Chains A and B, each alone.
Chain A
Amino acid sequence: MADEISKVDEAASPTAPPPVAVPAAKPEAPAAGMPLLRIDAVVKKFGQFRAVDGLSLDIHAGEFFALLGPSGCGKTTLLRMLAGFETPDEGRILLDGKDMAQIPPHQRPVNMMFQSYALFPHLSAKDNIAFGLRRARLSPSDIDARVSEMVALVKLEGLENRKPDQLSGGQRQRVALARSLARRPQLLLLDEPLAALDKKLRESTQLELMELQRRLGLTFVIVTHDQAEAMTMAGRIGVMDAGRLEQVATPRDLYEAPHSRWIAEFVGDINLIEGKLDASGDTHLTMARRLAITTTQAGTIYVAEPRQPLTRDNLCVAIRPEKVKLSRRPPVSDDTRAINRIDGVVTDVSYLGGMTSYKVKLDTGLVLRSSMANTARLDIDAYSPSQRVVAWFSPEDCLVLEQ
């Protein structure tokens, strides 16, 4: 009987199972445009140290949001405030329009998956998953149905009766995930959920998490220090440093259009060349407007005009290694994509399988990194150390960052 009822429920709303498990959950949908979670100028101090420093952020229902940052940047503190384990010193946290300040953790429609998993060692996998359902005072048959559903969801069939110490790391991770999903929280918080897994398992679990999030239509906020993980899974990423959000953007924008030098360096590899704007070098080589930037280490570099007008003098040209091409001979001279070209010598070659990474010491003294995909099995295009090459890159691929 219970099975039939739950099936009917799911048929009624296939994408978003109703969050009936938690009494605190509000049944009515939030107003259109209203974010599910609003973090409003939140400050958290530990003594004199401002772990979270006036942070504001909106997260909408159904989002997969990643908080990315180096250790100690405050991302875990922020997550713990969302769960209710820490109280903000200033600012507000609104969930579904409701101020969470006075709501203790056990009454929030939020669940958290802990980095250590925090599985109850005295309970079986099944009882761990059922823990939250029992606290919500569901009927035993409903609990059994939901537990079997969760066990199937994370593919733990046959291991239900094992204690945590009889499970492998990957299996424990699944129990922790199932336990945090069992109550169908409005918001699921994941604190470095994959940090304890090995690389292969981590990558497959990333895909499973994304699939789960889409299928259940839940809102996930994940904390990670692993940028590849954040970029793989999240729809939007918030990069944190020293308690502040440096940039909130899609993975692509974060990589291709970082707001600051710090983010450009934090996310992926990048070549940075410092210089000044050359007002006289405003050229019209092509239809598109170019800016000329005079650098001490690489001569004049032409860049596409940034969308935001420049306000400062000291600039930094940033270019990703995979956008720096190498060739034996100078490219055809009227190719404007090769307007930035500098001679140099290959100093380092790192073969990484899918691609090869080179370091090129330019004649001007600067070391540029370049990486090229190994698209062919035979290395006809490979360069060797001490070989003379031309490094070239297009103005469109250059970023101008103020500093």
Chain B
Amino acid sequence: MSGRSIFTRPARFAAIAPYLWMALFFLVPFLFVLKISLSQTAIAQPPYTPVFDVAEGWEAIKSAFAALSLDNFHLLVTDDLYVLSYLRSLMVAAVSTAILLAIGYPVAYGMARLPPRWQAIAMMLVIVPFWTSFLIRIYAWINILQHDGLLNEVLLALHLVSSPVVWLSTDSAMYLGIVYSYLPFMILPLYATLSKMDPALLEAASDLGASPLAAFWRVTFPLSLPGIGAGALLCFIPIVGEFVIPDLLAGSDALMIGQTLWLEFFTNKDWPVASATAVVLLLLLLAPLLLYERLQRRQLEQA
């Protein structure tokens, strides 16, 4: 290694800081989880074996390593419960993301076309819900959706229904909650892309004979694909692992993987299976995560 680094010492530290952060707060905890997922459940403290203990010497560690197995992962692929949970999670995330995109795109598009002063206000309105606790907002939805809640009262008062409708503990309620909670995460990246677009491009398209609709499909839409990608992944990834919303709003007949994980951990006290579930979830999300990272990097390179 010859040649002088262009980085000064503080700059070099700044460059490795994110990696340090990742190692400390992601990689190390993940290794713990990975180890537990390869262990066996036990009635003990902690509730699994083997336990690594450096004090017991080299031989003990070697035998502990030998005791690790892939049994939990085998269970995950053979037992329907887990496979169905994973599939349901992916399905719920995909459907929610599609709904979010269908609602978020027109909103972001409209925002980007407002006069600058109104854009700031619209932006505020999108962000304002974050000022209230997420849990409180979900409980508010329970209030609205329950048997004698606001929604049923309004529907009855308007004579649209003759008896209260069951909203709570349905998939519709869950989708409503998810879409409501994640909408800002879809709108903001879309708005960022759409508002950056040079309005002269649309004029050029129009000048070259494109009707407003053609100009949208040939220019606006392809140029907003990075925003669509960012928004979709930013919603899809956390929705797959979503626990609170399905637990509070959906019925109990089908579980998302987050709920299954919670059950294994807190109800069954089966840490190894819970850990294996988490590891597989991470592997499932690795592809969209890497895709998101690539999109972000390409955007940075273009800027």
**A interface residues, Cβ below 8 angstroms from B:** 22, 83-85, 104-107, 110-112, 114, 116, 118-122, 131-132, 135-136, 165, 179-180, 183
Contact = CB atoms under 8 A, between A and B. Distances in A.
A132 B201 contact: no
Contacts of A85: 203, 206
B195 to A, nearest CB: 16
A107 B201 CA distance: 17
20 contacts: A83-B207, A105-B207, A106-B212, A106-B215, A111-B207, A112-B207, A114-B203, A116-B198, A116-B200, A118-B203, A120-B204, A120-B218, A120-B219, A122-B222, A131-B205, A131-B208, A131-B218, A136-B209, A165-B302, A180-B207
A83 B203 CA distance: 9
A112 B206 CA distance: 10
B200 A118 contact: yes
A105 B205 CA distance: 9
Contacts of A180: 207
B206 A104 contact: yes
A122 B207 contact: no
B209 A135 contact: yes
A132 B203 contact: no
B223 A122 contact: yes
Nearest to A104: B206
A351 to B, nearest CB: 43
Ranked 4 nearest A-B pairs via Cβ:
A132-B208, A135-B209, A118-B204, A118-B200
Interface of B: 198, 200-201, 203-212, 214-215, 218-219, 222-223, 302
A280 B126 CA distance: 81
A123 B10 CA distance: 41
Contacts of A165: 302
Nearest to B215: A106
A110 B209 CA distance: 10
Given A122-B222, A131-B218, A135-B214, A22 B203 contact: no
B230 to A, nearest CB: 16
Contacts of A112: 203-204, 207
A222 to B, nearest CB: 16
Given A114-B200, A118-B204, A165-B302, A132 B223 contact: no
A130 to B, nearest CB: 10
A131 B222 CA distance: 14
Contacts of A104: 206
A165 B205 CA distance: 18
A111 B203 contact: no
Contacts of B215: 106
Contacts of A105: 203, 206-207
A106 B200 contact: no
A200 to B, nearest CB: 27
Contacts of A114: 200, 203-204
A106 B219 contact: no
Contacts of B223: 120-122
Contacts of B219: 120
A183 B208 contact: yes
A81 B246 CA distance: 56
B209 A106 contact: yes
Contacts of A132: 208-209
B209 A120 contact: no
A118 B199 CA distance: 9
A259 B184 CA distance: 61
Contacts of A183: 208-209
A208 B82 CA distance: 70
A135 B208 contact: yes
Contacts of B302: 165
A81 to B, nearest CB: 13
Nearest to A105: B206
A179 B208 contact: yes
B198 A118 contact: yes
Contacts of A107: 209
A150 to B, nearest CB: 13
Given A106-B209, A179-B208, A180-B207, 5 more contacts: A84-B207, A106-B206, A116-B198, A119-B204, A136-B209
A335 B215 CA distance: 70
A19 to B, nearest CB: 13
Chain B CB within 10 Å, residue with most, of A22, A119, A122, A183: A122
A126 B198 CA distance: 21
Nearest to A83: B207
A181 to B, nearest CB: 11
User: Which of A84, A107, A120 has the largest number of chain B CB atoms within 10 A?
Assistant: A120
A106 B210 contact: yes
Contacts of A135: 208-210, 214
A135 B213 CA distance: 12
A240 to B, nearest CB: 22
A116 B222 CA distance: 20
B113 to A, nearest CB: 15
Contacts of B208: 106, 111, 131-132, 135, 179, 183
A122 B219 CA distance: 8
B119 to A, nearest CB: 20
A131 B207 CA distance: 10
Contacts of B212: 106
A121 B215 CA distance: 14
Nearest to B214: A135
Contacts of B201: 118, 120
A104 B205 CA distance: 12
A349 B206 CA distance: 53
A186 B127 CA distance: 50
A136 B200 CA distance: 20
Nearest to B212: A106
Contacts of B214: 135
B215 to A, nearest CB: 8
Contacts of B218: 120, 131
A22 B204 contact: no
Contacts of A120: 201, 204-205, 218-219, 223
